[in-house]
Structure 1
């Protein structure tokens, strides 16, 4: 159930029962697993939507709607909501906060919260949300499915601060019921590499700064890492969020650190010594997650060495392993099971809705497409990046590729941790670091040493108010600034009459006899409760929401890095200005994105009449959201359209009992229980001038 209004623990409990417990009971699953909550956010089109089940407007931020009614009882309700949006009392959501539950040893993740957000939550707000989710699971899921072991996130500063408030970890204490906070190792990969790509770099204890200048100088010594490759792909990548590139940079540093030093220059020796120590640190953290032949003991040794060199740790894989040993030591434990990658994969599937839409609306985002693929695994095309023998494979590791012994009971955690600490001390002995810095028995003999707070006090890395330099920020310029969206929703009573008149002037309803003025809509699949009366007309509530609340909406960019920074879909002309003047989207003489197109399509020697839904319009190579029909009629205009090919499918009617046999399989069934529906199955583009007339 998607969140409408403020977040309530009752909604989370309802989702746990419906999404997690009922499917488990239906298939008779009784084995208990450790559970972890995953939390992250996904971009949404800033578009309000109508939810029939609650008769409300969705897609408005949960933080500011607690005291405002979102119910559509009449047309005045829509006007009131529009006014509150215009006055800034409530906001159209920018993203959707999603919390899911994953079971250790299982592949899929199950959503238990989907809440629209305006990105104005504080750490206290996020703390309340996390506590509600934890309490809901402890109340409903822990006894029947398994105890909650951890809460995982990508390391967002707000969520990180909230997590540290309620989920302390190594090495002093944990949260209530031993629940800990996890950060996905892939994001830690990216954070480290982002720091390496900054001019300020990473400062090691021997005083050397490892930054792009140093890497560009020495990495070309590694076979396969020529100067252009290092500069363009590793030090200054197009996408700093690319995990495979981050891994490739780490591996280059590791190989460079192991190469012999043949130069006698003190400067070069000191630089290479710093790179060698950094390579040991990176290998200790990289190998446990990317080496399928590693046993659990190998993984713990590597993570211990990483934590002992760094004197700070983001992960709690060892605690998860210890909990698995207590629950069932015969079950496997995979080191990459921690983190929120399962939620990232779910987001990828959600984006499949609407033809791989990079930013769906809130209603589309609330659809549990993952459940559809679990019920029909043959429909899941899988990922081309799951093979471990490719470097890119580390972005999506899988249990099938792991060959090492991951039986939880096979690992002596204490012994492996001690061996890793010893390996860290050996790495320091060959460097210029003073011995007092790696005398771990003496260091940890002091009470109060906390691997989460290496600077002491209440200072947790990554949650300070100053900007985090490990987070990539797009360069800003006048041309690249996010567009200013007009949110003035004031309108006269005559405006809606004009819009409705425009719709009716081109509607198929003109071909049938007009109904009585106030007669309620009726017919198969029609619910009169879905309509509002306005000046003697019945208008569907979804139409009211679209025309009144979505009048000034601009689609977001399909490029990920620009989308997360708040940019729209790149409707820029060649002068760098954005085309935000969409005109009257319901005007009779305007063709807009989403309008249908009928055209002839040839495949080999077959000519077909094809119906498409427009997904992109370009005039003279410039993307635009709408275009006058007169421009399409102009034989000299250079208009390019892209769209989805629509296919027609047979589906049960809404008012049928669902028991009818598919007429395509049985010609004797009654066709009255079935209806036709159009659906998108592909994509087609015109890259040359579009000539002809519109009908």
Structure 2
């Protein structure tokens, strides 16, 4: 078992080795730890100050634990305590594990008893996970291994092992807590195409009667280590009833997705908390969970949209290790019992609890204190193993039921021991192959289509439970931002707390001890005195000579360390976290919440909406479901419709897959589209609320238990045209990749296309802007010239050449440098920011240009042969608040400031001779645009065929 425990960062002198303890193992080789005189201490602290070595913030504790029923035997025996600064890489930690394993192998024989290391367990820490994979997933299970015949028939089982078939393990409580964290993930989890976001979880749990206080507790992200809360939340998910018959289709779909996630949690948790399960039933549950997880992770290409790679790997490693350990016990001791609950690191966590309470109220410790307390507790365990009659356990001999008749999980689920297990856990009657197959059959019953999916997966080379796409996932990193906790839960989870006296009120600080208070520094002094007098004839001198005086080594280290760190808080957790005794933080935060108490029409999470998206440079209508709502920076469960157009409103949604109906779906013939209860693979995030329009479609209950939405083409066509009519020119539109189901198809043709010949400005935005065009088309040239927008300099120089040399443009107009429309038809507004002209940004929401092309103002001001044009926007120098193009400056002065300036208007803004010569060449060669090179070996998609009957223009005929 391997785990870390927090340390107080201070150096200590060890009287047995005459060394300075407390340095990190990663860098301690850079300095001598021997302590013979003052110079040794000075050199050590100089290395600390230079950051060449660090004081250990945590200690890695390795312990051995027997898989026996007897509590005196299965208590952990620490064999290694090593300080770390957490700078170690996975490869370096693997080397550390290798040395540790070599040391334990050298002492595995004790008289006539030989111990075997079956697995190495740890929590979910990423670096340790990589180290475990490097060290214990090096080889394929050999066909000569005794356990090979038991495990080889298990389809999809990963068979990578280390020396002596050792396998890595993950603590099951950490796995359960990871499942709870998934339900609080900001972007939600994708369950067979449906995204479950925290707001949906809250809504469904509230609807089954959970109080707001209970919901707040279960979904409090500030308490993610509480195992009871984990059991409670997962239990509430797996007992969710079916959706009411009158529920909306999206609500019913959400309930089904939650129930499916609940089944996964049920089969993962029950083997560890239901005392009546036999070992055969436990393994069957774990097999069911493995196959459910495999299906949910791979179906519809969910992958990390469902859960993080690391979480997936940790669960699968836990399940794999359980089967491997049972196989080893069946071979080594065929008539023995095997307790699944002894796997993981829980026994090490209990040892940490004993260490913290071993010395009265001093629950913190440095590395020397940790080693001393762990050694003493180990001696106690050895004595009780030799004299079990001395071990008087708790007087309560009977553990209350962990799960009652109502299915409630008791808080005692976190205190289960082998003595309390009722089910038959003998390995003799367990057939691993049967357990694995039965688990798969149960998973196929839970997920329709899983059988066919597994058959397809079996054809993928290298496919197994740790290689769900044919490539090993162990060690693959995850994007941190994708798994952030929902900020709304973080706000709700913040509770007002009163700091300890030292933080809240400096007047009552711990600079002077209060009555009955014992300071940690006093305890350190007492322990140092004991260390000095530990032996009558100490091997190493406990003193050093400083300025002719004998000073104890322990006191010297304390004095040298005292001015290098602030006085820490006396609160245990704050002290370990390094928080000072005095703080200027108030500890209170303003909490702003929004609620729609007016009863006004509102949009809620889970409601259907209509919107416009770009697909292959064309504009299409999309129907979807709201997943998240954000107003400013505040997540919302609902928002009044009046606030949807607000600039700070952002909506995230999933696009429905719509299919055509038939007479069975709608005998009345009023609807020709329905939701297939499936979604497009990728969600759309943070879309401006202006693009979203709520819908109230007809609900069909033709299929019992699977309500769906029905739509009519003429309504959808009208909706597409109305949304398009309301768009601003600069409204950013999300892009969606073409799929087999989007854009929506009828007879193989794409439907609900927003057509260029719409009555509203060519159908290309409120002022005629073409949202889809990736090229600027100059209508002043004949024949017309198209210029790619990917290089804004080409657009600026082409239009600049028109302004300078096109005689067809009247001398009194001020053409726009981006679209050539005259002022005031085309005008610009700068954002209200300070700085130079080169730093000014265009406010596209208030500007009216048809070609809102973003460009760098500073780069546009510089002229070169490759980019000669310096036409750029400036604020009028005569303070008229107009934003004008520099090539139009003389025209602007003549039109607006003829009587305000004595400057020679002809010389207001003149291009240099080189610039003018280069611009003339551009004007003369304006028709000779470079051809776009076609990329070789690039697959060209078949162009979309647009359905004429479903164009947006049909709404106006």
TM-score, with length taken from structure 1: 0.65
Question: Partners in 1 of 2:369 and 2:391 — Cα distance?
Answer: 19
Question: Partners in 2 of 1:381 and 1:87 — Cα distance?
Answer: 51
1:297·1:411 contact (CA, 8 Å) conserved in 2?
Answer: yes
The 10-residue stretch of structure 1 (399-408 or 379-388) with the greater mean CA deviation from structure 2: 379-388
1:45·1:556 contact (CA, 8 Å) conserved in 2?
Answer: no
1:277 aligns with 2:225: no
Task: Specify the alignment match of 1:453 in structure 2.
Answer: 467
1:159 aligns with 2:128: yes
> Bigger relative contact order, structure 1 or 2, given CA contacts below 8 A and separation 6+?
1
Cα distance, 1:43 vs structure 2: 0.4
Task: Specify the alignment match of 2:213 in structure 1.
Answer: 228
Q: How does 1:593-632 map to 2 (within 5 A)?
A: none
SS in 2 for 1:197: coil
1:218 aligns with 2:204: yes
| 1:192 maps to which of 174, 179, 185 | 179
Instruction: Kindly provide the CA deviation profile for residues 281-327 of structure 1, in whole angstroms up to 9, marking residues without a partner as x.
Output: 11110111110000011111110010001115131211111111111
- Compared with structure 1, are the counterparts of its residues 470 and 173 closer, same or farther at alpha carbon in structure 2 (3 Å cutoff)? farther
1:64 aligns with 2:64: no
SS in 1 for 2:46: helix
Cα distance, 1:357 vs structure 2: 3.7
Question: Partners in 1 of 2:55 and 2:136 — Cα distance?
Answer: 31
Task: Specify the alignment match of 2:164 in structure 1.
Answer: 177
SS in 2 for 1:423: helix
Q: How does 1:114-125 map to 2 (within 5 A)?
A: 114-125=81-92
1:149·1:178 contact (CA, 8 Å) conserved in 2?
Answer: yes
Instruction: Say which one has the larger Rg.
Output: 2
| 1:370 maps to which of 343, 364, 377 | 377
Task: Specify the alignment match of 1:605 in structure 2.
Answer: none
- Compared with structure 1, are the counterparts of its residues 465 and 124 closer, same or farther at alpha carbon in structure 2 (3 Å cutoff)? farther
1:326 aligns with 2:331: yes
1:304 aligns with 2:287: yes
- Compared with structure 1, are the counterparts of its residues 524 and 216 closer, same or farther at alpha carbon in structure 2 (3 Å cutoff)? closer
Cα distance, 1:544 vs structure 2: 1.1
Task: Specify the alignment match of 2:554 in structure 1.
Answer: 542
Cα distance, 1:124 vs structure 2: 1.3
Instruction: Kindly provide the CA deviation profile for residues 323-359 of structure 1, in whole angstroms up to 9, marking residues without a partner as x.
Output: 1111112111111111111111111111124435443
| 1:109 maps to which of 76, 86, 95 | 76
Instruction: Kindly provide the CA deviation profile for residues 564-594 of structure 1, in whole angstroms up to 9, marking residues without a partner as x.
Output: 7x442664356469xxxxxxxxxxxxxxxxx
SS in 2 for 1:98: strand
Task: Specify the alignment match of 1:341 in structure 2.
Answer: 346
Q: How does 1:478-517 map to 2 (within 5 A)?
A: none
2:56·2:83 contact (CA, 8 Å) conserved in 1?
Answer: yes
2:13·2:19 contact (CA, 8 Å) conserved in 1?
Answer: yes
Question: Partners in 1 of 2:391 and 2:159 — Cα distance?
Answer: 47
Q: How does 1:127-142 map to 2 (within 5 A)?
A: 127-141=94-108
| 1:146 maps to which of 115, 137, 142 | 115
The 10-residue stretch of structure 1 (100-109 or 280-289) with the greater mean CA deviation from structure 2: 100-109
- Compared with structure 1, are the counterparts of its residues 360 and 245 closer, same or farther at alpha carbon in structure 2 (3 Å cutoff)? same
SS in 1 for 2:325: helix
Task: Specify the alignment match of 1:423 in structure 2.
Answer: 442
SS in 2 for 1:409: coil
SS in 1 for 2:24: coil
TM-score, with length taken from structure 2: 0.48
Question: Partners in 1 of 2:534 and 2:459 — Cα distance?
Answer: 78
Task: Specify the alignment match of 1:33 in structure 2.
Answer: none
Q: How does 1:566-581 map to 2 (within 5 A)?
A: 566-568=577-579, 571-572=582-583, 575=586
Cα distance, 1:388 vs structure 2: 5.2
SS in 2 for 1:63: coil
- Compared with structure 1, are the counterparts of its residues 556 and 401 closer, same or farther at alpha carbon in structure 2 (3 Å cutoff)? farther
Cα distance, 1:65 vs structure 2: 1.3
Instruction: Kindly provide the CA deviation profile for residues 369-416 of structure 1, in whole angstroms up to 9, marking residues without a partner as x.
Output: 422542368788879997553622222321111100011112111101
1:251 aligns with 2:235: yes
SS in 2 for 1:40: strand
- Compared with structure 1, are the counterparts of its residues 358 and 211 closer, same or farther at alpha carbon in structure 2 (3 Å cutoff)? farther
Instruction: Kindly provide the CA deviation profile for residues 268-290 of structure 1, in whole angstroms up to 9, marking residues without a partner as x.
Output: 21111111211111111011111
Question: Partners in 2 of 1:199 and 1:383 — Cα distance?
Answer: 46
SS in 2 for 1:47: coil
1:361 aligns with 2:366: yes
1:373·1:379 contact (CA, 8 Å) conserved in 2?
Answer: no
| 1:287 maps to which of 270, 283, 308 | 270
Question: Partners in 1 of 2:426 and 2:190 — Cα distance?
Answer: 38
1:285·1:306 contact (CA, 8 Å) conserved in 2?
Answer: yes
- Compared with structure 1, are the counterparts of its residues 84 and 182 closer, same or farther at alpha carbon in structure 2 (3 Å cutoff)? same
SS in 1 for 2:206: helix
Structure 2 unaligned segments of length 5 or more: list them: 141-156, 295-311, 403-408, 498-520, 526-531, 589-957
SS in 2 for 1:314: helix
2:222·2:490 contact (CA, 8 Å) conserved in 1?
Answer: no
Question: Partners in 1 of 2:369 and 2:120 — Cα distance?
Answer: 26
1:152·1:338 contact (CA, 8 Å) conserved in 2?
Answer: yes
1:184·1:341 contact (CA, 8 Å) conserved in 2?
Answer: yes
Q: How does 1:2-151 map to 2 (within 5 A)?
A: 38-105=1-68, 106-141=73-108, 144-151=113-120
Cα distance, 1:203 vs structure 2: 1.0
